[in-house]
Structures are given as structure tokens and as C-alpha cells.
A and B are shown apart, each in its own frame.
Chain A
């Protein structure tokens, strides 16, 4: 257990519905990242926060995706009007400020869009 938790662990939804995932990072880690991993592939970067500020977003993050990190603690990732192509594992990771430090990953939320 890395100390990073994600909820829910699994989510099945119908196409067109909205879903929201939550990540609770290690408390003193100021950087928080979201990645998406499809089956048999490496994780792809979606977005990252330093404290409460969202500093970078991938072009993979369409306007249907939004992420927040109020108060610099937990983070939420919302997908609106889900599509079948959104089916993937959504991973959260956190890190202390130094670039040499490792990112600690959560167990992920597996999304299935029917």
C-alpha cells in the first residue's frame, strides 16, 4: 500500500452519464497527477496540480474532462457525457516537490462505459 487511495475502485456506467472519481494523496505531498491507462498500455498523463493550482493539462483531456483539487488536498476527476472510449483505468499519483522524488501511485479506478 503506497498510502494513496482512490474511490471508487470500479465504476460501470452507461454512455452519456457523468462520473466522478476521487483521489486522496499522501497528506504532505504537494503535487498530484492524473493518468489514464488502457489495457496493455502504459499510463498516459492527463493533468497535474501543485497544491490547488492546475499547472498542466494534456490534450488528451477534452472539454468533457475536468479536475479539481480544492484546498490542495484530495482531488476529483469528472467525466461528463461518457463515451465508450473513456473506458480505462484512471490512476492518481502524488509526489513531494523535488524532481528526483518518486511518484506514489494509487490503486486506480477502473471505468467501464457500456
Chain B
């Protein structure tokens, strides 16, 4: 069975600084997708960034980028120039082709002004 592990229950960062959230996963599949979702307090979960396993190039979306290490089964999220609005619970998630999402436990990110 696929598992996703986020080893940092809480992280904090100063506004305008950079923070990295860690995620590891376990799978025997070769074709899969990885995602980072953001869940602000009392608000809907939204997609931050996604990565296809067959692509070696790391995905980037504005201030958000990933470090995807397929052999190590690691998928970390880097947030640059952190903003107050980035404060939320962040979930790493895995999906095989056409299947459901498997989520990690989440990392609560606090952004200090």
C-alpha cells in the first residue's frame, strides 16, 4: 500500500523568508503523481503544485517549487518570499494513475510578521 509521511507537524517562518516542507512516500509503482495541497483555516483545500513522476524537472509555480527525488522517494515543497497568506495546513499527496489521493498527516505552517 502507498503511504505518505510528513515528518514536520509544525513549521514557522518569518515573512519574506524561505521555508521547506518535507514529504516522503512509499510506492512500488513507477507511474504516479505527487501534489501539495494547502488548507487554510475553515477554508477549502486548494492545489499548490503538482509533479508527474516521469518528469525529472522539478515543478515550479511562482513562489512555490518542489525538490523531487524519485530514487529517494522524497518530494519537498519550498516556499520563497513567504507571505502572511501562506499560513495554512499543507498536505503532501500521492496518486496512481486514475486513482484516489493518499495524503500525509500535514504540516501546519505559521508565518510570523
* A binding-site residues for B, Cβ under 8 Å: 1-2, 4, 33, 35, 40-45, 48, 56, 91, 93, 99-100, 102-103, 105-108
Contacts and interface: CB of A to CB of B under 8 A. Distances in A.
Contacts of A2: 44, 46
A35 to B, nearest CB: 8
B106 A107 contact: no
A45 B100 contact: yes
Nearest to B93: A42
B103 interface: yes
A105 B33 contact: no
A103 to B, nearest CB: 6
Contacts of A56: 99-100
A41 B105 CA distance: 5
Nearest to B4: A42
B103 A42 contact: yes
B86 interface: no
A103 B43 contact: no
B90 to A, nearest CB: 10
Interface string B23-44: 0000000000101010000011
Contacts of A44: 103
B35 A42 contact: no
Given A40-B106, A43-B103, A99 B33 contact: yes
6 contacts: A42-B93, A42-B103, A43-B91, A99-B96, A105-B45, A106-B44
